[in-house]
Amino acid sequence: MPQNMEWIAQWRSTKALNNTWISTGERHYFASHSLIFILDGKATWSINGQRVHASFGELIALEEKSVLEVIDGGDMDLAGWHVQFDTYAVFEEGREVEKYDWHVPSGEAYKKVQLPGGSLASIIQHMSEANTGEGRALWIGNQHLLYELLNNLYQQKRDNELRPEDGILRSIDYMREHYDQVITRGQLAQIAGITPWHYSRKFNEQYGKPPLDYLAHYRIYRAQEELLLTSATSQDIAKKSGFEDAHYFSRRFKQLTGESPKQYRQHLKHRRIVVLSPICAEMMIHLGVIPYAVMVTEILLSPHQREQFIVHGVRLLEVTQYGMDLELVRQVQPEIIVGNSMTEEIKRKLRTIAPLLTGLHQNIEPLLYQLAAWFHKEEAAQGIQLQLKQQVSVAQQKLQPIIQSASTVMLLRVEAFGYRYLGGHSYGISQLIYDQLGLAIPQALEQGTAWFNPCSLDLLVQANPDYLFVEKRMMQHFSADENMRKLVQSSQWNELKAVKNKRVFYIDTHLWVDGHGITGQNLILNQMISNLVDTASE
CATH of the domain at 241: 1.10.10.60
Q: Does 248 lie in the same domain as 188?
A: yes
For 214-223, write each residue's pLDDT tens digit. 999 999 999 9
Q: Provide the percentage of residues in the chain whose pLDDT is more than 90.
A: 43
**Nearest C-alpha neighbor of 356 from the set 253, 215, 172, 221:** 221
| Domain finish residue from 97, 121, 155 | 155
Q: Average pLDDT, stretch 431-454?
A: 91
Q: Average pLDDT, stretch 416-426?
A: 88
Query: pLDDT at position 162, please?
Result: 37
User: In whole angstroms, how far apart are CA 65 and each of 29, 68, 193?
Assistant: 7, 10, 38
For 247-299, write each residue's pLDDT tens digit. 888 888 888 888 888 888 777 778 899 999 999 999 999 999 999 999 999 88
Residue 191: band (very low, low, confident or very high) from pLDDT cuts 50, 70, 90? confident
**Nearest C-alpha neighbor of 280 from the set 271, 264, 291:** 291
Q: Does 309 lie in the same domain as 247?
A: no
**Nearest C-alpha neighbor of 428 from the set 450, 402, 395:** 450
**C-beta separation of 11 from 145 below 8 A:** yes
The residues with which 469 forms a beta bridge, in sequence order, are: 411, 505
pLDDT over threshold 50, residue 163: no
pLDDT over threshold 70, residue 94: no
Q: Does 403 lie in the same domain as 336?
A: no
pLDDT over threshold 50, residue 334: yes
Q: Does 349 lie in the same domain as 253?
A: no
Residue with more model confidence, 83 or 22 = 83
- Residue 387 forms part of a structural domain: no
- Residue 370 forms part of a structural domain: no
Q: What is the CATH number of the domain that holds 306?
A: 3.40.50.1980
Q: Average pLDDT, stretch 496-520?
A: 93
Q: Does 524 lie in the same domain as 420?
A: yes
**How many helices and strands, by DSSP H and E, does the chain display?**
23, 19
Helix segments in 208-336, DSSP class H: 211-229, 234-240, 246-257, 261-266, 278-287, 303-311, 326-331
Query: pLDDT at position 530, please?
Result: 92
The residues with which 9 forms a beta bridge, in sequence order, are: 87
Q: Does 92 lie in the same domain as 112?
A: yes
pLDDT over threshold 60, residue 160: no
Q: Does 420 lie in the same domain as 507?
A: yes
- DSSP code for 99: B
Count CB neighbours of 93 within 10 A: 4
| Domain finish residue from 265, 285, 300 | 265
What average pLDDT is seen over the chain? 87
- Residue 333 forms part of a structural domain: yes
Most confident of 301-305, 337-341, 472-476: 301-305
- Residue 384 forms part of a structural domain: no
- Residue 280 forms part of a structural domain: yes
3-state helix vs strand vs coil in the chain, percent to 5: 50, 20, 35
User: In whole angstroms, how far apart are CA 168 and each of 173, 188, 205, 211, 242?
Assistant: 9, 8, 11, 9, 21
Q: Does 130 lie in the same domain as 16?
A: yes
Q: Provide the percentage of residues in the chain whose pLDDT is more than 70.
A: 91
Residue with more model confidence, 319 or 321 = 319
Residue 75: band (very low, low, confident or very high) from pLDDT cuts 50, 70, 90? low
* H-run or E-run covering 421: strand 418-422
Residue 164: band (very low, low, confident or very high) from pLDDT cuts 50, 70, 90? very low
Sheet with 42-47, side-by-side order of all strands: 27-29, 67-72, 42-47, 50-55
Question: What is the domain extent for residue 292?
Answer: 273-360
What is the Cα gyration radius of the chain?
26
Query: pLDDT at position 165, please?
Result: 45
- Residue 161 forms part of a structural domain: no
Q: Does 15 lie in the same domain as 148?
A: yes
What is the pTM assigned to this prediction? 0.79
Query: pLDDT at position 526, please?
Result: 94
Provide CB contacts within 8 A for 190, sequence distance 6+: none
Q: Does 317 lie in the same domain as 401?
A: no
Q: Does 480 lie in the same domain as 415?
A: yes
- Residue 507 forms part of a structural domain: yes
- Residue 225 forms part of a structural domain: yes
What's the domain count of the chain?
4
Count CB neighbours of 405 within 10 A: 11
By DSSP bridging, strand 356-357 and strand 409-415 are unpaired
**C-beta separation of 100 from 1 below 8 A:** yes
The residues with which 175 forms a beta bridge, in sequence order, are: none
Q: How far apart are CA 465 and CA 408, in angstroms?
A: 5
Q: Does 149 lie in the same domain as 10?
A: yes
| Domain finish residue from 210, 239, 265 | 265
Q: What is the CATH number of the domain that holds 69?
A: 2.60.120.10
